[in-house]
Amino acid sequence: MSFADTGYLEEEEYLYLNPYTNPEGSGASSSTFSSCSQGHRSSLSLETSEGGIICLVCFCNLISNPTSPSVHVIYALSQLSQAISQPAFLRNLRTFHAHLLISPLVQALSSFDDEAIAQHTIDLVSDLCDSDDPSVCCDFVVRIADRLSSAALVWSRRQVYPLHCLGVLLNRQVDNPTSQIKNRRAFIANLVTGLQLPR
């Protein structure tokens, strides 16, 4: 599946620059407001305290697509960061949708050589890992370690961002923090190779 066509990105831009307003009080049916322009499931569109709507499917598609313009990705990440500053939104996101975001956030970490995207992403990962469900943090560790072990990033400076995020996550875990790293031999070998990158 490709999301690289121009039309898709234009739709994404529209979505984030023109969030739907809450029609409550405007006479619109409550069953219509939560569908996004791409027709994704309304249960995956979350209402923000400002009355906007963030479709998590569109969000995930945008941030995990390496061809998405950085400015769009940063805007989407900052919109979600702003939304989770509201406890009710964050609670809903953590409880029902945290696992949906794991793969796209890990993909975003290693797709863009962009400090701002990386920092926003790591902050979001940390917020999601504050969940009562420890499997969220474990899944992030597994996914990032797998990505680093795969050698896909070994000669790329983009390896720095998932590695930093992994360090943040491992610092949070009290018991045997590296137990989720499956292929430690490949993991360490690729990290050592990565050290040969020029500064």
Q: Name the token pair of 137.
A: 């943090």
Size of site (CB under 5 A) for Zn ion: 6
Binding mask 51-70 for Zn ion (x = CB under 5 A): ----x-xx------------
Interface with Zn ion, residue 36, by CB under 5 A: yes
Query: Closest separation between CB of residue 6 and Zn ion, Å?
Result: 18
Q: Name the token pair of 152.
A: 């896909």
Torsion angle of the four alpha carbons 47, 52, 56, 60, in this order, in degrees rounded to the nearest 10:
-160
Query: Closest separation between CB of residue 151 and Zn ion, Å?
Result: 33
Query: How many other CB atoms are there within 10 angstroms of residue 14's CB atom?
Result: 11
Q: Name the token pair of 29.
A: 């049916």
Sign of the C-alpha dihedral, residues 116, 11, 38, 48? positive
Query: Taking a C-beta distance cutoff of 8 angstroms, is the pair 76, 113 a contact?
Result: no
Query: Closest separation between CB of residue 27 and Zn ion, Å?
Result: 24
Interface with Zn ion, residue 181, by CB under 5 A: no
Instruction: Choose one: 30-38, 118-126, 160-168, 182-190; the region binding Zn ion (CB under 5 A).
Output: 30-38
Interface with Zn ion, residue 90, by CB under 5 A: no
Query: According to CB under 5 A, which one of 18, 21, 32, 38 is a site residue for Zn ion?
Result: 38
Instruction: Choose one: 6-14, 38-46, 103-111, 144-152; the region binding Zn ion (CB under 5 A).
Output: 38-46
Interface with Zn ion, residue 40, by CB under 5 A: yes
The alpha-helical segments, DSSP class H, found in 84-150 are 87-92, 98-111, 115-129, 134-149
Q: Name the token pair of 10.
A: 């234009």
Query: Closest separation between CB of residue 47 and Zn ion, Å?
Result: 14
By C-beta, is 55 or 148 nearer to Zn ion? 55
CB-side neighbour CA atoms (13 Å) of 198 = 0
Positions touching Zn ion (CB under 5 A) are 36, 38, 40, 55, 57-58
